[in-house]
Structure 1
Amino acid sequence: MTGFTPRELEAARDRVVPDVAASGLSVLFCGINPGLMSAAAGHHFARPGNRFWPVLHRSGFTPRQLKPSEQEELLSYGLGITNVVARASARADELTEEEFREGGRLLTERVERLRPRWLAVVGITAYRTAFGERKALIGPQERMIGDTRVWALPNPSGLNAHWTAESMAEEFARLRVAAGVPDRRTEDA
């Protein structure tokens, strides 16, 4: 995934990475927005330093660590990926509060249509801004979208030094248990 030139990465600015989603998922994971590398690759969480894929496996959601290019396999496990804000940027701090609020509105519509059992927003600041819940903490939220429960997870970006891969995997595993998803690490990969 690292074979992109600076020009190719810049050309990916404002692109949209299509959702990996279907109706009735167990968990719909929701990133903040695609980074330039993800947009250039066309896959979610594609930057090599991003810990989403390793943490997803370590928490038991997948039987092996998937590559970003294998993201469609998530559907077979009842999982999906979307974003709060669709457009790609170099950094999340390039997004405006208005974009986050509009993203929260559009995400709510998407969740109402797809009806996953859980929406898991990876990034507490993105969750707080998108839904106007300034004091929200990591973990299950009181908010529901229709019948969908909401969980705020730590941001898996390598820049998030407050969380180790292991502590993130523990939080993701708490969600997995609450969602009734079996520990797939024991399955043959």
Structure 2
Amino acid sequence: MPDVVADGLSVLFCGINPGLMTAATGHHFARPGNRFWPVLHRSGFTPRRLKPSEQDELLSYGLGITNVVARPTARADELTAEEYREGGRLLALKVARLRPRWLAVVGVTAYRAAFGDRKAQVGPQERTIGATRVWVLPNPSGLNAHWTAETMAEEFARLRVAAETA
């Protein structure tokens, strides 16, 4: 699954791993029930709701997308602890190379597993990767019923405001 990245992005969004539809289409967050694209727009990151096939337009807004783990699965719970740890290590190297202002990991469970931070909560983190600040966002998967599109958009908007002022 190719990343959508460039040097010096404002925010690099990081999914857990590609779902099967994402892997099949080559477009991040491609499953129709995934709320990433609607929430990204609703939070003010994009002026309109982008389709997964328009993912490259993110770069024009200073945004990008990558994943913690490259291996596609039907569900994130199919990933092993070792895959998460190795994914976190590789992600840190990628972030150090690309130097985005913010790394936004979508999924607190994935963040905890990848970076060994069992107490992490949604929101800004103490951890930095070089000069890159880290923010954990709710997982936009339709399986994450704890967050509505509205409450997710509010959290994404908190990051957007921080990214605009930092």
What TM-score does the superposition give when structure 1 sets the normalisation length?
Answer: 0.87
Is there any run of 5+ residues in structure 1 with no aligned partner, and where?
Answer: 1-16, 182-189
**Pairing partner for 1:103 from 84, 87, 99:** 87
1:118 to 2:102 alignment: yes
1:34 to 2:18 alignment: yes
Identify the residue that residue 48 of structure 1 maps to in structure 2: 32
After superposition, residues 16-165 of structure 1 pair within 5 angstroms as 17-165=1-149
- Which residue identity lines up with residue 129 of structure 1 in the other structure? A
Deviations 1:98-128 (A, max 9, x none): 0000000000000000000000000000000
Deviant stretches of 4+, over 4 Å: none
Is there any run of 5+ residues in structure 2 with no aligned partner, and where?
Answer: none
After superposition, residues 161-172 of structure 1 pair within 5 angstroms as 161-172=145-156
> 1:87: Cα distance to partner?
1.1
Q: Name the Cα RMSD after superposition.
A: 0.6
Aligned residues with identical type, % of pairs: 84
What TM-score does the superposition give when structure 2 sets the normalisation length?
Answer: 0.99
Aligned residues: 165
Identify the residue that residue 7 of structure 1 maps to in structure 2: none
Deviations 1:1-32 (A, max 9, x none): xxxxxxxxxxxxxxxx1000000000000000
